[in-house]
Amino acid sequence: MEYSTIPMIGVTGCTSQLGLHPFHIVGDKYVRSVSDAMGACPMVIPALGQDLPMKRMLTSLDGILFTGSPSNIEPHHYQGAASEEGTEHDPARDATTLPLLALAIELGVPVLAICRGFQELNVVMGGSLHQKLHEVGGYIEHREDKTASVDIQYGISHTINIEPGGLLYEAWGRTSADVNSVHTQGIDRLGKGLRPEAYAPDGLIEAVSVIDAKNFALGVQWHPEWKVTKNPFYSAIFDMFGEACRIRANQREKEYGQA
- How far apart, in whole angstroms, are the C-alpha atoms of residue 224 and residue 208? 14
DSSP one-letter code for 89:
B
Nearer to ligand LF53FM6H, 115 or 237 (CB): 115
Taking the complex as a whole, the smallest distance from the CB of residue 153 to ligand LF53FM6H amounts, in Å, to 9
CB closest to ligand LF53FM6H, residue no = 68
Nearest to 259 by CA among 60, 11, 110: 60
Number of Cβ within 10 Å of residue 197's Cβ equals: 23
Active site residues: 115, 223, 225
Taking the complex as a whole, the smallest distance from the CB of residue 210 to ligand LF53FM6H amounts, in Å, to 20
DSSP one-letter code for 72:
B
Nearer to ligand LF53FM6H, 5 or 181 (CB): 181
* 3-state helix vs strand vs coil in the chain, percent to 5: 35, 25, 40
Taking the complex as a whole, the smallest distance from the CB of residue 242 to ligand LF53FM6H amounts, in Å, to 20
Nearer to ligand LF53FM6H, 11 or 249 (CB): 11
- How far apart, in whole angstroms, are the C-alpha atoms of residue 210 and residue 105? 8
Chain residues that interact with ligand LF53FM6H, rule: CB under 6 A: 27, 68-72, 115-116, 182-185, 223
Taking the complex as a whole, the smallest distance from the CB of residue 155 to ligand LF53FM6H amounts, in Å, to 13
Nearest to 224 by CA among 247, 203, 201, 197: 197
Nearer to ligand LF53FM6H, 159 or 184 (CB): 184
- How far apart, in whole angstroms, are the C-alpha atoms of residue 172 and residue 234? 9
Nearest to 221 by CA among 144, 165, 137, 135: 144
